[in-house]
């Protein structure tokens, strides 16, 4: 089989495995019940109990109870003066949004995913530290990430979802779903501990894009490296648009959410087209979603600034050959090497570690050194 045909077969087979496997696993996990919603204007009257209010408006009893300001269970008499200042409807919509969030979650799957994340990341971390993540092993690890965190455990939760859904939920209903904020806290803590390690090895969409990028590289496709000032400007503008749209009640990511490749029945025609385009772009560009659009990509990039473990250069050993910069799939290694003021996202892939001929690069704790003034001057 010639190289081109082999490449097309592998790329197509990977997409087919992801879609067919995800269809199968979503069937196994089962669908969660449909969402409760307010139909029309609220029906209420003075002296109504929460139970009567729930029945009259076809609401779950706990939503009615919580909307009345009682979270301790017992239904209290409705008192117009005790209404929250933003009104009963806003209160019901907020409680309904939180109810739907809780009801849509498969907590067993979520716990299992976090346990698997812990096990997987703790396996990869020492390998990366010792510079053992390279070649075929890296591709197998990415494939394992796709199969475990995407195909088997689905589109939700994800680092991206914790930021995007928190913004959308708050913008649409004013509700704050605490379990999601805790998950976001865990992801950000991981970034503070070890760079974008969660994105590198744990995000189901990140590993899929990375795998396609490696496929493109192995087929000899030309690699495009977009300037960080361009990708980050697009990402910041998109983040602002996400917030503004959420405040107006819309979710601009939902119709094209590429994570839904792991939930194929939820993919719209636009979503299917977008994810196909994204994976095709990933053959040439390193993690296009992460660099251009992902809200967690942006937040994580900011948190990266205080990461404990990160890629560092020992200039006493560095022979200034530029092999690491060449090997890096994006522009970040060049910026780290020359200690630029703005360092783009580093996805802790280990390409630079494997490429350095003098062992000058490490994934270690501590501050980055500055290169000697004449280190990279051409003689
Ligand atoms: S930046 Fe990429 S890897 Fe990180 S959460 Fe977003 S999609 Fe996933
Ligand atoms: S090759 Fe680039 S992205 Fe990968 S670990 Fe090194 S600096 Fe980070």
- Indicate the residue among 249, 274, 302 that finishes a domain: 302
Do residue 203 and residue 316 come from a single domain? Answer: no
Cα-to-centroid distance, 215 and ligand 2 (Å): 17
Q: Does residue 356 form part of some domain?
A: yes
Q: Does residue 274 form part of some domain?
A: yes
Do residue 244 and residue 360 come from a single domain? Answer: no
How far apart are the C-alpha atoms of 208 and 319, rounded to whole Å? 34
Q: Return the higher-pLDDT residue of 89 and 87.
A: 89
Q: Does residue 71 form part of some domain?
A: no
Q: Does residue 372 form part of some domain?
A: no
**Closest C-alpha to ligand 2, atom 4:** 349
> Could you tell me if the CB of 299 is within 6 A of ligand 1?
no
Quote the mean pLDDT of the chain: 91
Q: Does residue 224 form part of some domain?
A: yes
Given the structure tokens 């390690």, which residue do they identify? Answer: 197
The distance from CA 308 to its chain's CA centroid, rounded to whole angstroms, is 21
Do residue 170 and residue 236 come from a single domain? Answer: yes
Domain count for the chain = 2
- The 10s digit of each residue's pLDDT in 334-372 is 999 999 999 999 999 999 999 999 999 999 999 999 998
Whether residue 20 has pLDDT greater than 60: yes
Do residue 285 and residue 218 come from a single domain? Answer: yes
Q: Return the higher-pLDDT residue of 29 and 117.
A: 117
Containing structural domain, residue 315: 308-365
Pocket test for ligand 2, best of 331, 351, 356 (most atoms within 8 A of CB): 351
> Could you tell me if the CB of 199 is within 6 A of ligand 1?
yes
Could you say which DSSP state residue 298 is in? H
Do residue 8 and residue 139 come from a single domain? Answer: yes
Q: Does residue 208 form part of some domain?
A: yes
> Could you tell me if the CB of 133 is within 6 A of ligand 2?
no
**Closest C-alpha to ligand 1, atom 4:** 199
> Could you tell me if the CB of 124 is within 6 A of ligand 2?
no
Q: What percent of the chain has pLDDT over 90?
A: 75
85: confidence class by pLDDT, cuts 50, 70, 90: very low
Whether residue 83 has pLDDT greater than 70: no
Pocket test for ligand 2, best of 290, 326, 350, 362 (most atoms within 8 A of CB): 350
User: Which residues is 285 bridged to in the sheet?
Assistant: 224
Cα→Cα distances 300→120, 198, 247, 305, 345, Å:
20, 10, 23, 9, 8
Cα-to-centroid distance, 345 and ligand 2 (Å): 9
Do residue 282 and residue 140 come from a single domain? Answer: yes
For 179-235, the three-class secondary structure string (H helix, E strand, C coil) is HHHHHHHHHHHHHHHHCCHHHHHCCHHHHHHHHHHHHHHHCCCCCECCCHHHHHHHH
Whether residue 188 has pLDDT greater than 90: yes
Cα-to-centroid distance, 297 and ligand 1 (Å): 5
Do residue 271 and residue 328 come from a single domain? Answer: no
Radius of gyration of the chain (CA): 24
pLDDT at 331: 96
Do residue 220 and residue 131 come from a single domain? Answer: yes
- Indicate the residue among 252, 267, 302 that finishes a domain: 302
What's the CATH code of the domain at 315? 3.30.70.20
> Could you tell me if the CB of 351 is within 6 A of ligand 2?
yes
179: confidence class by pLDDT, cuts 50, 70, 90: very high
> Could you tell me if the CB of 205 is within 6 A of ligand 1?
yes
> Could you tell me if the CB of 333 is within 6 A of ligand 2?
yes
Do residue 282 and residue 317 come from a single domain? Answer: no
| Cβ 121 vs Cβ 201: under 8 Å | yes
Do residue 234 and residue 341 come from a single domain? Answer: no
> Could you tell me if the CB of 297 is within 6 A of ligand 1?
yes
Do residue 140 and residue 154 come from a single domain? Answer: yes
- Indicate the residue among 302, 321, 349 that finishes a domain: 302
- The 10s digit of each residue's pLDDT in 51-72 is 888 888 889 988 888 887 654 4
Q: Does residue 319 form part of some domain?
A: yes
How far apart are the C-alpha atoms of 272 and 281, rounded to whole Å? 14
Q: Does residue 375 form part of some domain?
A: no
> Could you tell me if the CB of 228 is within 6 A of ligand 2?
no
Do residue 133 and residue 282 come from a single domain? Answer: yes
């Amino acid at each position: 089989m010639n190289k081109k045909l082999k490449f097309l077969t592998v790329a197509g087979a990977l997409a087919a495995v992801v879609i067919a496997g995800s269809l199968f696993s979503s069937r196994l996990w089962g669908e969660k019940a449909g969402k409760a919603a307010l139909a029309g204007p609220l029906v209420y009257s003075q002296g109504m109990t929460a139970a009567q209010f729930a029945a009259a408006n076809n609401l779950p009893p706990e939503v009615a109870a919580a909307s009345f300001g009682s979270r301790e269970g017992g239904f209290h008499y409705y008192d117009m003066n005790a209404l929250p200042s933003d009104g009963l409807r806003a209160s019901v919509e907020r409680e309904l949004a939180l109810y739907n969030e809780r009801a849509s979650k498969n907590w067993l799957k979520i716990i299992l995913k976090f346990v698997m994340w812990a096990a997987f990341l703790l396996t990869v971390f020492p390998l990366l530290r010792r510079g053992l993540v390279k070649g075929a092993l890296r591709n197998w690890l990415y494939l394992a990430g796709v199969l475990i965190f995407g195909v088997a455990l689905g589109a939700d939760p994800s680092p991206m979802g914790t930021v995007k859904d928190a913004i959308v939920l708050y913008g649409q209903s004013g509700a704050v779903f605490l379990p999601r904020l805790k998950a976001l806290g865990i992801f950000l803590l991981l970034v503070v501990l070890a760079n974008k390690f969660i994105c590198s090895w744990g995000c189901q969409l990140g590993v899929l894009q990375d795998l396609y990028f490696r496929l493109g590289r192995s087929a000899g496709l030309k690699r495009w490296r977009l300037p960080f000032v361009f990708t980050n400007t697009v990402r910041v503008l998109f983040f602002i648009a996400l917030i503004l749209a959420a405040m107006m009640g819309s979710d601009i990511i939902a119709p094209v959410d590429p994570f839904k490749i792991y939930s194929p029945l939820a993919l719209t025609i636009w979503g299917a087209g977008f994810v196909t385009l994204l994976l095709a772009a990933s053959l040439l560009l390193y993690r296009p979603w992460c660099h251009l659009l992902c809200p967690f990509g942006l937040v994580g990039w900011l948190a990266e600034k205080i990461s404990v473990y990160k890629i560092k250069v020992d200039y006493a050993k560095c022979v200034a050959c530029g092999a690491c910069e060449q090997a890096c799939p994006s522009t970040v290694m060049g910026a780290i090497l020359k200690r630029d003021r703005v360092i783009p996202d580093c996805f802790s892939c280990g390409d630079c570690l494997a490429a350095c001929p003098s062992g000058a690069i490490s994934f270690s704790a501590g501050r980055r050194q500055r290169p000697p003034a004449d280190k990279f001057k051409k003689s």
